[in-house]
Amino acid sequence: MQQFNNSLVWFRRDLRCFDHAAFYHSLRQSCSVYCAFIFDKDILDLLDRRDRRVDFIHASIVELDAELRRLGGFLIVRHAHAAEEIPRLASELRVDAVFANHDYEPAAVTRDARVTAALQKTGIAWRSFKDQVIFEKDEVLSQAGKPLSVFTPYKNAWLRKLHSSSDDFYLKAYPAETYASRLAAPGNGDAKCPPSLAEIGFEASDLAELGIPAGMSGGEQLFEDFRDCLDRYHETRDFPAIKGTSFLSVHLRFGTVSIRGLARQAVDAMRRAGGGTGAATWLSELIWRDFYFMILHHHPRVADRAFKPEYDAIRWEEGDHAQQLFRAWCDGRTGYPLVDAAMLQLRRTGFMHNRLRMVTASFLIKDLGIDWRWGERFFADLLNDFDLSANNGGWQWAASSGCDAQPYFRIFNPVTQSQKFDAQGKFIRHYLPVLARLPDKWIHAPWLAPAAVLTDACLTLGIDYPHPLVQHDEARKRTLERYAIVKKAV
């Protein structure tokens, strides 16, 4: 194992100092370790000034800095173009190596290649590690040694690999704390704390009011809240009015929790419960996450094209009419209460329940005939947990153009989805109080309600709440025609 005098750990989407691969390896391999985070102008310049994710990152690095100081180190925080700043900082600090964790997104891969090349010129080593997934790249393959593109065989191979080591080797935590004495202490000139949001040109968002806890402590708190729900996850996960999922996606996105730690919790719960269906189903979701990272790694073209190329021939709605339909969907004005409530949840909180992501995506693509990329972009702008791989995977699943997607002729009915997953309309009433007085029977499709029911509910359609934008049955027929081109190609 090569040893270095000084090294630098570059924190990116891994904002924690426990069970962190790059942090652990740098401490083990170096006499003295600096830690840095860069607010990357290349990304920040594109965002709204009150972006919740910047607020989340900011709160998380404040906590990370405090935790590193408790261990004897500190976090250097810069607001700059990361690809240039990291080589500059590495030279400034006279380090021999920069350590970071793998990032699989195409833009990050390009950025890291630039950083590596710049470091190489000055003789500084680059070391990077798997950290944000359990298995990456080519670690899970088919029996023929090929990357898999169907989830179930991938999941089976994933589980076989996990259980192939008797001591849960792949879930072991990296005990970075053991080497904490090697952290470089702050000097006199080093700032006492990270810059404020205002100093990097941002404002506080409503994250705190929404009760979304950031940082390592926030991730831990959310998992503790969820722990007791784990056994029943398979029964509760599909109902948006119930707190049946973990809400950990934003923490997984920014690495304030460890994926190994979470997978370990799921595996332990399965063992305790003799196979525990709830924990097994939750582990399956974590495996979907690995799956989509693997797909993005092997097929980076999915970022803007269909995984199944023949789906790129589909003609989507265009022009002013398409723009109007899209705006109505974005604003929660489609006239379909479950779709509208879900879009309002996204706009007001930056989160949307998984069942509703499927329903709203399907509605945009298969009821309104809009290109899935428009919806993908809108989600990317608003989701706190936006992750290119999972978002693209989810949208291509709904568009039927993805790997292992639902068949093109499977079209969610937004009314029956509503009746099934929000039977009493609790979720709808929360986000659309204007519909609150409608009886359960009519809340899923107010346009079908008798006039007297609407009067009793103080509701005038077209004024208080929109008429449905499209008729689902007619839209369904149009979609089947639109997708006929794919049928011919298959």
Binding residues: 233, 245-249, 282, 285-292, 385-387
Q: Which of 105, 310, 316, 447 is catalytic?
A: 316
Kindly state whether residue 132 participates in binding ligand FAD, applying the rule CB under 6 A: no
Of the pair 278, 337, the CB lying nearest ligand FAD is at 278
Kindly state whether residue 237 participates in binding ligand FAD, applying the rule CB under 6 A: yes
**CB of residue 386 to ligand FAD, shortest distance in Å:** 4
From the list 110-118, 200-208, 210-218, 386-394, the region that binds ligand FAD by CB under 6 A is 386-394
Asked if 158 is an active-site residue, the reply is: no
From the list 143-151, 175-183, 243-251, 297-305, the region that binds ligand FAD by CB under 6 A is 243-251
**CB of residue 300 to ligand FAD, shortest distance in Å:** 17
Asked if 374 is an active-site residue, the reply is: no
Size of the site for ligand FAD (CB under 6 A): 28
Query: How deeply is 68 buried, as exposed, middle or buried, from its count of CB atoms within 10 A (0-12, 13-18, 19+)?
Result: buried
Kindly state whether residue 249 participates in binding ligand FAD, applying the rule CB under 6 A: yes
Kindly state whether residue 361 participates in binding ligand FAD, applying the rule CB under 6 A: yes
Nearest 5°: phi and psi at 30? -135, 155
Q: Which of 67, 354, 413, 447 is catalytic?
A: 354
Of the pair 186, 394, the CB lying nearest ligand FAD is at 394
The secondary structure element, H or E, covering residue 75 is strand 75-80
CA 165/CA 159 separation, integer angstroms: 11
Among 18, 316, 386, 447, binds ligand FAD (CB under 6 A): 386
Residue with tokens 């935590």: 173
Asked if 288 is an active-site residue, the reply is: yes
Residue with tokens 């990291």: 86
Of the pair 63, 404, the CB lying nearest ligand FAD is at 404
User: Which structure tokens are listed for 484?
Assistant: 């006929």
Q: Which of 136, 139, 220, 285 is catalytic?
A: 285
Residues annotated as binding site for FAD? 233, 245-249, 282, 285-292, 385-387
Among 264, 289, 308, 444, binds ligand FAD (CB under 6 A): 289
Kindly state whether residue 171 participates in binding ligand FAD, applying the rule CB under 6 A: no
Q: Which of 105, 136, 220, 288 is catalytic?
A: 288
Residue-wise DSSP of 216-284? HHHHHHHHHHHHTTGGGHHHHTT-TTS--S---HHHHHHTSS-HHHHHHHHHHHHHHTTT-HHHHHHHH
**CB of residue 70 to ligand FAD, shortest distance in Å:** 28
Among 7, 29, 391, 401, binds ligand FAD (CB under 6 A): 391
CA dihedral 394, 395, 398, 403 (to 10 degrees): -70
CA 439/CA 424 separation, integer angstroms: 9
Residue with tokens 């970075």: 176
Kindly state whether residue 245 participates in binding ligand FAD, applying the rule CB under 6 A: yes
Cα end-to-end span (Å), the chain: 52
Kindly state whether residue 406 participates in binding ligand FAD, applying the rule CB under 6 A: no
User: Which structure tokens are listed for 416?
Assistant: 């029956």
Q: Which of 10, 329, 372, 397 is catalytic?
A: 372
Closest-CA residue to 361 (of 380, 335, 339, 383): 339
Residue nearest to ligand FAD (CB): 394
Kindly state whether residue 383 participates in binding ligand FAD, applying the rule CB under 6 A: yes
**CB of residue 380 to ligand FAD, shortest distance in Å:** 7
Q: Does residue 6 contact residue 90 with C-beta atoms inside 8 Å?
A: no
Please say whether the dihedral angle defined by the alpha carbons of residues 45, 48, 53 and 55, taken in this order, is positive or negative.
positive
Kindly state whether residue 354 participates in binding ligand FAD, applying the rule CB under 6 A: yes
Query: How deeply is 119 buried, as exposed, middle or buried, from its count of CB atoms within 10 A (0-12, 13-18, 19+)?
Result: buried
Q: Does residue 329 contact residue 368 with C-beta atoms inside 8 Å?
A: yes
**CB of residue 394 to ligand FAD, shortest distance in Å:** 2
Kindly state whether residue 252 participates in binding ligand FAD, applying the rule CB under 6 A: yes
Closest-CA residue to 344 (of 430, 420, 424, 240): 430
Kindly state whether residue 248 participates in binding ligand FAD, applying the rule CB under 6 A: yes
CA dihedral 377, 379, 385, 387 (to 10 degrees): -30
Kindly state whether residue 394 participates in binding ligand FAD, applying the rule CB under 6 A: yes
Asked if 413 is an active-site residue, the reply is: no
Report the alpha-carbon angle 389-391-393, nearest 5: 65
Kindly state whether residue 379 participates in binding ligand FAD, applying the rule CB under 6 A: yes
User: Which structure tokens are listed for 406?
Assistant: 């639902």
Asked if 316 is an active-site residue, the reply is: yes
Asked if 156 is an active-site residue, the reply is: no
470: how many CB neighbours lie within 10 A of its CB? 17
Residues interacting with ligand FAD, by CB under 6 A? 237, 245-249, 252-253, 285-286, 288-289, 292, 354, 357-358, 361, 379, 383, 385-387, 390-391, 393-395, 398
The residues that are catalytic are 285, 288, 316, 354, 372, 395
